[in-house]
Amino acid sequence: MKSSTEKPMTVRLPADLADQLEKLIQATGSNKSAITVAALRQYVEAESGQVQDIKDGIAEADRGEFASDSEISSFFSKYGG
């Protein structure tokens, strides 16, 4: 019996990706749902982090929090550019 915290989802995959997924399932013995959930979870977490970083940066800019000229010069002296 499925957990009430799970929701079914249907997606259409490009044929090449579906083939790669099937090969991975055969090679690992894992199931399609487990692999798909793991991949989607990793993607969503990464994208969510980037979105939050962008929002944080915009909020800093809105508050006028910018790097000074000397901080920028120091950065480029250290890392080149």
* Dihedral over alpha carbons 53, 57, 58, 61 (to 10 degrees): 170
In which domain, by residue range, is 42 found?
29-79
Within a domain: 61: yes
Residue 35, burial from CB neighbour count under 10 angstroms (0-12, 13-18, 19+)? middle
pLDDT of 34 reads 94
Within a domain: 74: yes
pLDDT of 80 reads 82
From 21, 15, 45, 47, select the one nearest 34 (Cα to Cα). Answer: 21
Within a domain: 69: yes
What average pLDDT does the structure give for the chain? 92
Determine the average pLDDT of the residues in 21-40.
Answer: 95
Q: Residue 1 pLDDT more than 90?
A: no
Q: Where residue 2 falls among pLDDT bands split at 50, 70, 90?
A: low
